[in-house]
């Protein structure tokens, strides 16, 4: 019986070691691929200003929207 337990524990440690080595290699490969992609394909910054849209908003429109939101919240609370 002890020989069977020893064999089982040995097999468990071998299996856990193989899984640990595989996961370590997987993390290394993912980090390497990430470094390669970031080096050869850098991210292009996206412009925050959308051409053709005016940032000049009429104050009466803002007041109307604010009043509508206030009335909606008052009605649905």
Walk along the chain (77 residues) and give the pLDDT tens digit of each residue: 899 999 999 999 999 999 999 999 999 999 999 999 999 998 888 767 666 656 678 889 889 999 999 999 999 97
End-to-end Cα spacing for the chain: 72
* Residues 16-30: tens digit of each pLDDT: 999 999 999 999 999
At residue 29, the pLDDT reads: 98
Q: What is the C-alpha to C-alpha distance for residues 64 and 57, in angstroms, rounded to an integer?
A: 12
Please state the pTM of the whole predicted model.
0.53
Q: What residue has token string 């993390």? A: 27
Spell out the residues 6+ positions from residue 35 whose beta carbon is closer than 8 angstroms to its own. Answer: none
Sorted by sequence, the CB contacts under 8 Å of residue 42 that are 6+ apart come out as none
């Amino acid at each position: 019986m002890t020989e069977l337990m020893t064999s089982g524990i040995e097999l468990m440690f071998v299996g856990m070691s193989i899984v640990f080595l595989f996961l370590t290699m997987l993390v290394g490969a993912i980090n390497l691929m990430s470094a390669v992609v970031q080096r050869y394909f850098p991210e292009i910054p996206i412009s925050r200003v959308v051409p053709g849209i005016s940032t000049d908003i009429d104050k009466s429109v803002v007041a109307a929207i604010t009043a509508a939101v206030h009335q909606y919240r008052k009605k649905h609370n």
